[in-house]
Chains A and B, each alone.
Chain A
Amino acid sequence: GAGVSQSPRYKVAKRGQDVALRCDPISGHVSLFWYQQALGQGPEFLTYFQNEAQLDKSGLPSDRFFAERPEGSVSTLKIQRTQQEDSAVYLCASSPYRGQGQPQHFGDGTRLSIL
């Protein structure tokens, strides 16, 4: 498809397990973003890539969260030793250039539930 694709759409994990969330951006898009959206709230910035370089990871809530984009296309957000407070929708977005003033194209998100 032509849009941002995220998988899985839904993920249920037990507390303490590790999870990996995948994002396929729009082909050719330089910038890629991860957000965390808690129920009833707006998206909260997690991290930002320009090609394979992670330019800003100031929003990652703890060292249990790790993101990578090794070849400048697909990205993976990994959460280690999950906690209940990690339950949220994780949104990925991409934009075609360096991001200045460019709107972001969002995927449908991965809904993560930690039991």
Chain B
Amino acid sequence: AQSVTQLDSQVPVFEEAPVELRCNYSSSVSVYLFWYVQYPNQGLQLLLKYLSGSTLVKGINGFEAEFNKSQTSFHLRKPSVHISDTAEYFCAVSPYTNAGKSTFGDGTTLTVKP
């Protein structure tokens, strides 16, 4: 079984400041890792994914994440946030052996203040 823990339920930050949203996971098998963003009353949109290879992955809208296998973490970062980045962010894992069954964290609400 897999589990995902997003360590911060809410992250307030000022515009143009850097931000890090933390994600730890637990799994007995190898997993793929994803970050999704959800705007109010909408479905989830993929920000980035880690499948294999380089542990630093770049996504859309200037976001990036680093996979750390020893710490079982996949933290999301952006060097300078915009008001439009205000949204809910979800970390998810999907096991190699059953990639159809994704497990999501409970989300982090990012609020960017002017």
A48 B104 Cβ-Cβ under 8 A: no
From A12-20, A65-73, A76-84, A103-111, give the one contacting chain B. A103-111
In the bound complex, how far is the Cα of B45 from the Cα of A98, in angstroms?
Answer: 19
B110 to chain A, nearest CB (A): 15
Whether A96 is near chain B, meaning CB under 8 Å from some CB there, is no
From B11-19, B67-75, B79-87, B94-102, give the one contacting chain A. B94-102
Chain B residue with Cβ nearest A97: B99
B104 to chain A, nearest CB (A): 3
How many chain A residues touch B (CB < 8 A): the figure is 30
A26 to chain B, nearest CB (A): 12
Whether B44 is near chain A, meaning CB under 8 Å from some CB there, is yes
Neighbour of A4 across the interface among B43, B46, B96, CB < 8 A: B43
> How many CB-defined contacts (below 8 Å) exist between A and B?
67
Which A residues are CB-close (under 8 A) to B99?
98-102
In the bound complex, how far is the Cα of B104 from the Cα of A43, in angstroms?
Answer: 6
Q: A55-B100, A56-B98, A101-B49 are in contact. Are A91 and B106 (CB under 8 A)?
A: no
Neighbour of B46 across the interface among A31, A40, A56, A103, CB < 8 A: A103
Whether A41 is near chain B, meaning CB under 8 Å from some CB there, is yes
Q: A103-B34, A106-B44 are in contact. Are A40 and B100 (CB under 8 A)?
A: no
Q: A42-B90, A101-B32, A103-B49 are in contact. Are A91 and B100 (CB under 8 A)?
A: no
In the bound complex, how far is the Cα of B44 from the Cα of A99, in angstroms?
Answer: 17
Chain A residue with Cβ nearest B6: A42
Q: A48-B101, A101-B32 are in contact. Are A41 and B96 (CB under 8 A)?
A: no
Residues of chain B from 19 to 45 with CB closer than 8 A to chain A in the complex: 32, 34, 36, 41-45
B90 A45 Cβ-Cβ under 8 A: no
B102 A91 Cβ-Cβ under 8 A: no
Which B residues are CB-close (under 8 A) to A91?
43-44
Chain A residue with Cβ nearest B105: A42
